[in-house]
Amino acid sequence: YGLRLLSDTHNVGLRALIRAAGLDRKPLTAGRVGYILAPRLNAVGRLDRALRGVELLMTDSEADANRLARDFEELNARRQEIDRRTLDEARRMVERLDLDATYGLVLAGEGWHAGVIGIVASRLVEEFGRPTILIALDGDEGKGSGRSISPFDLHAGIGECRDLLIRYGGHRAAAGVTIARDQVPAFAERFNAVARRLLSADDLVPEVRADLELPFDAATEDLEALLRHLEPFGAGNPAPVLVSRGVTLAGPPRTVGKDGLRLLLKSGGHSLTAIGWGMGPRRDELDVARPVDVAFRLDRDEWNGESRLQARLADFRG
């Protein structure tokens, strides 16, 4: 009901934001709010002043609303580029580590933006399955943001290193730290030791929880429409994850963007494009001569005014 009201909102700022994001006259799903609209407001607080977001939502001026919405588009594009650069640099740092001996990641970078390192930490947790803290160094101090895996209480783990920090705060799943630059190596060493004591090797294996196994040719428009009745999806109501085994690759895997993976999947007469953001580095795991098992969510690819069914990959096994 709330999503329907949002689609018909008379709020001048929200209407401008919806237009600028290319969603005018389109139904606002939970996914469109979560992945398209919300990041634009979020980027303002990360890269500029959060009060500008309040200005957008409170203005009665069409001109001001349109100007602010355009600014937010630019800020979000900047935020995405900063995310990509920071993620690439952080990945290279992880590749130099002995992951068998590293249960807790602490990475520090000069020039990293403190407003986006939490987003990058989340991506690294998804990829490497370890509690991760990124620290943006600036002068004699660094500000860090961390994300965790479900078996590890991040706030408590950081608390065991409190004597090395200027301050810290947060909760089980996410936390922030302020630290003197010269204490970063000691903090990284102790945080890893805490994680090694509290976690087992099995805890570090990224987990995908599947809701339903089905033949791939059952992943249809009708099923996607049915699953949409379960929205809105979010932390308390995650989108269903479907699993299909022995699916054929109808063509070679393709890299899209900086690190995305695009597959054309086929079963019988049914084919469907699948997209896996952040999975580009795993392209070599796939071979068109071998069937693949896929875990995915059904959603829609919105492009050039058209809407197509697609599979958003959660994981795959070649």
**What pLDDT was estimated at residue 35?**
83
Average pLDDT in the chain = 93
In a domain, 87, yes or no: no
Q: Judge whether 86 lies within some domain.
A: no
* Residues of the chain above pLDDT 90, percent: 77
Query: CATH number of the domain that 153 lies in?
Result: 3.10.310.30
Nearest to residue 83, comparing CAs of 49, 153, 17, 134? 134
Q: Is residue 92 part of a domain?
A: no
Highest mean pLDDT among 16-30, 166-180, 257-271: 166-180
pLDDT at 234: 78
The residue ranking higher by pLDDT, 228 or 178, is 178
When divided into structural domains, the chain yields a total of: 3
Q: Considering 16, 48, 80, which residue would you say is the last residue of a domain?
A: 80
Domain boundary among 204, 239, 257: 204
pLDDT per position as a tens digit, 273-307 = 999 988 998 999 999 999 999 999 998 887 766 78
Helix axes 12-20, 38-47, angle to 10 degrees: 100
Q: What is the mean pLDDT of residues 138-166?
A: 97
Predicted confidence band of residue 155 (pLDDT cuts 50, 70, 90)? very high
By residue range, what is the domain housing residue 13? Answer: 2-80
The CATH number of residue 243's host domain is: 2.40.50.460
| DSSP 8-state code for residue 272 | E
Summarised one tens digit per residue, pLDDT across range 62-89 is 999 999 999 999 999 999 999 999 999 9
Confidence (pLDDT) at 85: 93
Q: Which of 80, 114, 131 is the last residue of a domain?
A: 80
Name which of 30-34, 275-279, 310-314 the model is least confident about: 30-34
Instruction: Please give the model's pTM, rounded to 2 decimal places.
Output: 0.79
By the 10 Å C-beta count (0-12 exposed, 13-18 middle, 19+ buried), 162 is classed as exposed
Query: Span 214-218, mean pLDDT?
Result: 96
